[in-house]
Structure 1
Amino acid sequence: MPIRAVAYVSEALDLDAREIDQIVTNAAAFNLQAGVTGVLLFDGIRFLQYIEGPEDGLGIALQRVYGATSHENVIELNRGRVGRRQFPYWSMHWIRVDQMELGKVAISDWTGFARAGYDLHGRITAVDQLSLIVSPHLTT
């Protein structure tokens, strides 16, 4: 079964850590049933989320994303097929990051969800940038 992925950024609406925990707990429970995995970065102002899974499960998860009242101004960075899951370990997990970290990931190259180290111009790819942020949290 092909795996598809979506990455997006959005603006958070005045949420505290407890509210984000609840949103992520609900998303994780849904995603587990839908076969969707992913990670959510939050810098206090913006979200950046990467989610992946089978097309039907991902489609329903995206309906929930677009219908959520916890954020606005959703901008997709990329959507497409991936060869394998990049983040299979969490049905959903959130990580608090600073604005610079989130910004670096957001403006990195999302083309094809590549994970190749560096692109042709010597810049680290978006998925690799995201992996650098996620790696220290894998033991939690």
Structure 2
Amino acid sequence: MPIRAVVYTSEAAAGIAASSPGQAGRRLCEIVDDAARFNRDAGVTGILLFDGARFVQYMEGPDDGLQVAYSRVLGASSHSGLIELQRGRVGQRRLPFWPMRWLPVEPSELRRVASADWTGFVQREGTGASTSATGMELLHALAEPHAASPSKESP
């Protein structure tokens, strides 16, 4: 079964935004826990980067499950100004670690991921931190250190 993915950036709603990077209120944790429960049943995995004010989210899974999960994202009141960075086929799962998990990142890291090249979800070997790294490579480099941690949905 082909695996499809979507990645987007958006602005956190007032009730979600944090005073500093790495902090999130109870509301964000509830949203991520709810998404994880839904995604588990839909066969979707993903990650949500949060800098205290903005998100970058990457989701992947079978087409039907991803469509339903993404439609929930599009209708959510927890964010606004959604900009889709890329959508398409990835061939195999790139981040199979969690049904959904949020990771705190610095604003500069989030900007770098959001502005990187997402064309085709390209991921080469050993280039995760280089200046020419693709969006997928940057995302993988941020997620990989957390992959061995327990599969709780929020840090």
TM-score over 0.5 (shorter chain): yes
Structure holding more helix per residue: 1
The two structures, once aligned, show a CA RMSD in angstroms of: 1.1
Does 1:19 pair with 2:27?
yes
Distance in 1 (CA, whole Å) between partners of 2:137 and 2:119 is 12
1:32 to 40, 47, 65: 40
Does 1:126 pair with 2:147?
no
Distance in 1 (CA, whole Å) between partners of 2:29 and 2:104 is 11
SS at match of 1:24: helix
State which drifts further: 12-21 or 77-86. Answer: 12-21
SS at match of 1:83: coil
Q: CA deviation at 1:135?
A: 1.4
Distance in 1 (CA, whole Å) between partners of 2:120 and 2:33 is 29
Percent identity (aligned): 52
1:86 to 94, 114, 118: 94
Letter of the 1:136 counterpart: P
Partner of 1:7: 7
Q: CA deviation at 1:130?
A: 0.5
Which string of whole-angstrom CA distances, capped at 9 and with x for unpartnered residues, describes residues 5-59 of structure 1? 0000000012142111100000000000000000000001101000000110000
TM norm structure 2: 0.85
Letter of the 2:114 counterpart: A
- Provide the aligned length of Structure 1 versus Structure 2: 137
Does 1:109 pair with 2:126?
no
SS at match of 1:80: strand
Letter of the 2:144 counterpart: S
Partner of 2:19: none
TM norm structure 1: 0.94
Moved over 3 A (4+): none
